[in-house]
Each structure stands twice: as structure tokens, then as C-alpha cells.
Structure 1
Amino acid sequence: MTTPYQLYYWDGLQGRGEFVRLALEEAGVPYVDVARQKKGMPALTASLDGDKVAHPSFAPPVLQAGELLIGQTANILQFLGAKHGLAPRSQEGRLWANQLQLTIADIVAEAHDTHHPISSSAYYEDQKKEAKARARDFREERIPKFLDYFEGVIQRNAGRGGYAIGSRLSYVDLSLFQLIDGLVYAFPKTMAKLAPSYPGLFALHLNISERPNIAAYLASKRRIANNETDIFRRYPELDK
């Protein structure tokens, strides 16, 4: 395509927008990270304004592709996957990919709620006691439950390159990379203990990190560093 995609997501955050960035980077297609440009935030706000766009999204990420304005991470990835060879060709395969992506969205939401269990609009420091209890359950119960599921997906697809679906890379693999990367950042002690139980997931994480386009992206200034205003946050007191 001659016109770059326009990606609308908050400046300074990986967040849910990073799942989209990884797909765009792997596909090697041009895009503009709008909020990181001059006057980008007003443009981002306008993409959510129902008085200005026909189908406003509730929140970023939003992808503009020509006249299309697409919201919701899984929805965007379904579009990009079909357009750029990052999704299965069959309807059954594409539905399966979307199902897995929506399950990834579930654990990402739970990871966020470890540090904001009461309210997203309140400071972490105002809900630290509740955050410790929520993080303990997440570490001990929820992370293993989700990783058991995703490891099973990879193992049942064994012998086909170590991917989640079929014998070639899909956007789901890129999203699993980002999930593991975020969990390792936020809960390094927990993930170090769990790693031996999930060889498929950690092998996939390494494989994705070494793909030429992704490796170049991770080493570039385009990749926003993990930080404590993002979804995955490293608070040592939450990783006992």
C-alpha cells in the first residue's frame, strides 16, 4: 500500500497497541505511530470522537487503513493478519486465531488489574493492599492456568515449527511473545520459576525475538521501553 497505516495509541506506552505494532513490524509495512508525532494527541482524540467519525472506538488502539477506522486489538489483528499473511487462510483457522487472541486479551486485562484492582482512575499507591492480594492470586493461580492453556495449544501443534497455529507464523505467535515478555518484566521471580514448565512458550518467545524484522524493531527507538505507567508494571512487592 502506498499510504502508511495510521496507528492511534497513547504515547509512551506499549500497552495494547504493542500487539498491533508487532504485527506491522513483522509484516514490514509502513505505519505512523500518530500520538508520537507533532500534534498527535489531538488526532488520537479525534479518532474516538463520534461527532467526527462514523464508527468511534471506545479506546485505543485504533488503526486507520485508507477509509477504514478499526478499533479493538483483536479486530485490528484479524484485519492485518488476513491482509499481510499473518493469519490462517481458512475461516476455521481465522476463527481459531481470533479465539486465541481474545484469550490473550483476557490475561492482559488481569495483569493490569494486579496493580489497579479497585479502580483504574485511582493511584496504585492508594490500593497497594488490595493489589498485593490480587497479584498473589494472579501469580499463583491465574498465570499458570493461562500458560497451561497456551502451552497446550503449542504442544498439540507440535512438529509444525513451534507455532500456535499451523506451520507458519501468525499474529497470535507475535502476541504470545508480547504476553511472555510483559509477564517476565512485571513478575521476573515468578516467571523464572515457571519457565521450565512451559518450554514451548519460551522457545516461541526466543524464536520471535530473533526474527529479523522483530529483532530490528526491538533494538530500535520505535520500541517503547517497559515502564510503570503501562499495563505490565514491575513492582517488587507484587512479585514475592
Structure 2
Amino acid sequence: MAYELYYWDGIQGRGEFVRLALEEADAPYEDVARSPGGMQRMSRFLEGKEDQQMPFAPPFLKDGDLVISHVANILHHLGPRLDLAPDEEKGRTFVHGLQLTITDLVTEIHDTHHPLGVDDYYEDQKTEAKARSRAFLESRLPKFMGYFEKILSLNPAGPQHIYGDRLTYVDLSLFQLVEGLRYAFPKAMFSFESRIPLVRALHGTVKSRPNINRYLESDRRLPFNESGIFRHYPELDQPD
């Protein structure tokens, strides 16, 4: 039975972290909102008309009679099933924590362009966004990415993967972080990436994987745009 992934059509957003895991594993799945009538199907879940397991917001995944919400929770569920998680409980718990840290970082990235909230247009909070982006690039980005760089350096199996000697869903999510940050802040990332050589190398390793490479070249991979989490506003890239 194919997995059913529910997320907004037209943007990569948080759903992309789940798509990358499904694509790497060559798992059968339906990107529901991109299919005929898919938005209506998703709305029924969000209105509580399908199941008591009503998600608060996309993304959510339907696996048989399970409805699983939140990216980290979805990947924690999929990881062992797609062979993208450690075999032992210690490792599974650790990589789940890493994914939750990525969730925190994604929120901070989103807030660079919407620091006052999602109900206001970006154009109505540009001054605040510049200040937020400056603080993010100077302080928060180095703190988060420096943490992942350190974790890679401490891997007893070598820095080719974030944990152990094989790919996990966190490796895929770190790839997506680098891709998104390069789109949103190309100038800042050009100078910053010299400080995270292991993360940069991991990004290249993931990108070259056959299933990921095919996915990136396909029309299933939506382009970044200014409606998603990662948005490129030139005035926020190394703001004065």
C-alpha cells in the first residue's frame, strides 16, 4: 500500500523533508495535494471529517490506518521502515533528537522573513525582517550549523554520515537545509560554508545518490519560491 503524503501544493516547504526520505527509499507514495481532488481530501482531514486523528496542519502522512503529523514524527515512523534509521534504540533516539533540532532551525529560518507572524505580508514587516535576518546570519546560523558540523566530526564511523556508517533521514534533511539556505542567502552562504566543510561534503554526498539525483532532475522536485520556508529576498542576504 502506498504512503499518502499530505502537504500544500506548489511549495517544497516542510513536506520536502519527508519527500526526500520517500524518494531515497524508492517507496511508493502519493503526493495527495498534487493529485486531482487532493486539496479537498486534505481539507477533509484538517476539518476532522475523516478521522479523530485530525492533524493541526500539514505535513501529515497516512500509513494504513495511522495518521502521523509533524516532520520529525513522520520521519521517526518512516526511518526504520525505509532503512533510514539506526537499528538500535540509542541511535534511533539520537537521530530523532537531531531532526527535532532541524525543526527548530527551520522555524528560525522561516522567521527571518516573517518575524512578526504569518498573518502579515512580508512587505509589512521588512524592517523587522532585516533585523531578524542579521541576527540569524551572525549568531543563530553559526550556532546551529556549527552543532551539526561538530556532530559529524564526532562520529566514530567517520564524518560521511551524521550517525553510524550509513545514510539516515537526518543526512537527507541536512542536505535540504543547505539547499534551502543557499537559495535564501546565497551571498551569506558563499562565505559561511568554509566554516562547515563536513556539512558541505555531506550535502554533496547526498546529492550524488542515484535516487536523490533522479528526483532532483524530475518534475516531482518543485523549485524554491517566495511562498515557502526558504525565500530569497536580496535585502535580507547580508543585510546592512
Fold equivalence (TM over 0.5):
yes
Q: Structure 2 length as normaliser, TM-score?
A: 0.97
Q: Partners in 1 of 2:21 and 2:7 — Cα distance?
A: 15
**Which deviates further from its counterpart, 120-129 or 42-51?**
42-51
One of 40, 45, 58 as aligned partner of 1:47: 45
Q: Partners in 1 of 2:10 and 2:160 — Cα distance?
A: 32
Does 2:135 align with 1:140? no
* Stretches (4+) displaced over 4 A: none
Question: What pairs up with 1:121-200 in 2 under 5 angstroms?
Answer: 121-157=119-155, 159-160=157-158, 162-200=160-198
Kept in 1, the 8 Å contact 2:157–2:164? The answer is no
Q: Partners in 2 of 1:81 and 1:93 — Cα distance?
A: 11
**Could you tell me how far 1:47 is from its partner in structure 2?**
2.0
Question: What pairs up with 1:6-85 in 2 under 5 angstroms?
Answer: 6-85=4-83
Q: Which runs of no fewer than 5 residues in structure 2 stay unpaired?
A: none
Q: Partners in 1 of 2:213 and 2:221 — Cα distance?
A: 10
> Given residue 206 of structure 1, which amino acid in structure 2 is its aligned partner?
G
**Could you tell me how far 1:226 is from its partner in structure 2?**
0.3
Q: Tell me, what secondary structure is at the counterpart of 1:75?
A: helix
Q: Which runs of no fewer than 5 residues in structure 1 stay unpaired?
A: none
Q: Tell me, what secondary structure is at the counterpart of 1:54?
A: coil
Match of 1:105 in 2: 103
Match of 1:92 in 2: 90
**Could you tell me how far 1:84 is from its partner in structure 2?**
1.2
**Could you tell me how far 1:51 is from its partner in structure 2?**
4.0
**Could you tell me how far 1:161 is from its partner in structure 2?**
5.6
Change (3 A) 1:200 1:67: same
**Could you tell me how far 1:158 is from its partner in structure 2?**
5.5
Kept in 2, the 8 Å contact 1:47–1:62? The answer is no
Coordinate RMSD, CA, aligned: 1.0
> Given residue 236 of structure 1, which amino acid in structure 2 is its aligned partner?
P
Change (3 A) 1:76 1:43: same
Q: Partners in 2 of 1:151 and 1:161 — Cα distance?
A: 9
Q: Tell me, what secondary structure is at the counterpart of 2:105?
A: helix
> Given residue 229 of structure 1, which amino acid in structure 2 is its aligned partner?
S
Aligned residues, how many? 238
**Could you tell me how far 1:101 is from its partner in structure 2?**
0.1
Identity of aligned residues (%): 54
